[in-house]
Amino acid sequence: MKSDSSTSAAPLRGPGGPLRSSEPVRAAPARAPAVDLLEEAADLLVVHLDFRAALQACDRAWRGLAEEPAGTSLEVKCSLCVVGIQALAEMDRWQEVLSWVLQYYQVPEKLPPKVLELCILLYSKMQEPGAVLDVVSAWLQDPANQDLPEYGALAELHLQRVLLPLGCLSEAEELVVSSAAFGEEQQLDLLQTIHTARQQQKQEHSGAKEAQKLNQEASPSSLPFLYKLAQLFRWIQKAMSSHLYQLRVRD
């Protein structure tokens, strides 16, 4: 009895088309151990709140990735940094964040935009924006980074969270004027912000000079005059008291 062609089984298909009987079935690529360690680190961080173990898992993953060709697993590396930064912050070791990420990326210019953003936000929140000044400046000046879609947002974040709080107004102006990442309207807005900050800086400087002048007027060099004045007041007070006493006696 002949089999009906309409009910015959469809040929097995592989990634490149139908498989012939002589073709081996292609196995799925093995997952990198770093991915498993990344999942372990995230679990330790979020579920178990074991921040030290999470950081150690990230370090082990990085050591494993060091044996792989450069340029591979970029997303895994970035994710490991995010977990590691959070773990250090939770342990109140935020001062170590910058050195920790740079030990793996070697130079600031190679930091992923997401990692750089977290560093700016962290050090700005802890009121230590100066710690990331040179790192972010180097990253922004690298031509390879200037074509990235995140460049404009990071440049503005650097201006608002690092340059302005540090009073680096000339550097802020140079960044706005020289960068093609800002549109004309955005440039005007940022320049206005810098102008306002400069006016405030002048007022603070003027106030500081006035306070310094007042302090100098009351400095030790003026004490002899103040001392003589105090003596004069005391003499007048005694003289008035004596005069009033004499008036009472006469009465």
Single pTM value for the model: 0.71
User: Which strand (E) or helix (H) includes residue 13?
Assistant: strand 13-14
Domain-terminating residue out of 106, 127, 147: 106
Q: Both 162 and 198 in a single domain? A: yes
How does residue 80 score in pLDDT terms, banded at 50, 70 and 90?
very high
How does residue 190 score in pLDDT terms, banded at 50, 70 and 90?
very high
The DSSP string of 137-150 is HHHHH-TTTTTSTT
Would residue 127 count as lying in a domain? Answer: yes
Q: Both 119 and 186 in a single domain? A: yes
Q: Quick one: average pLDDT of 36-56?
A: 96
Structural domain span for residue 199: 108-203
How many C-beta neighbours within 10 Å does residue 214 have? 10
d(CA 19, CA 14): 6
Tokens 């706005």, residue located: 176
Query: pLDDT at position 227, please?
Result: 55
Greater pLDDT, 149 or 28: 149
What is the number of structural domains in the chain? 2
**Helices (DSSP H) in the chain: which residue ranges?**
33-46, 51-65, 74-90, 97-105, 113-125, 133-141, 151-158, 164-166, 169-178, 184-217, 223-250
How does residue 239 score in pLDDT terms, banded at 50, 70 and 90?
low
Q: Residues 93-131: pLDDT tens digits?
A: 999 999 999 999 999 999 999 999 999 999 999 999 999
Would residue 24 count as lying in a domain? Answer: no
- pLDDT at 15 exceeding the cut of 60: no
Would residue 184 count as lying in a domain? Answer: yes
Query: pLDDT at position 71, please?
Result: 60
Q: Quick one: average pLDDT of 192-207?
A: 87
Q: Both 58 and 125 in a single domain? A: no
Q: Both 98 and 170 in a single domain? A: no
Query: pLDDT at position 65, please?
Result: 87
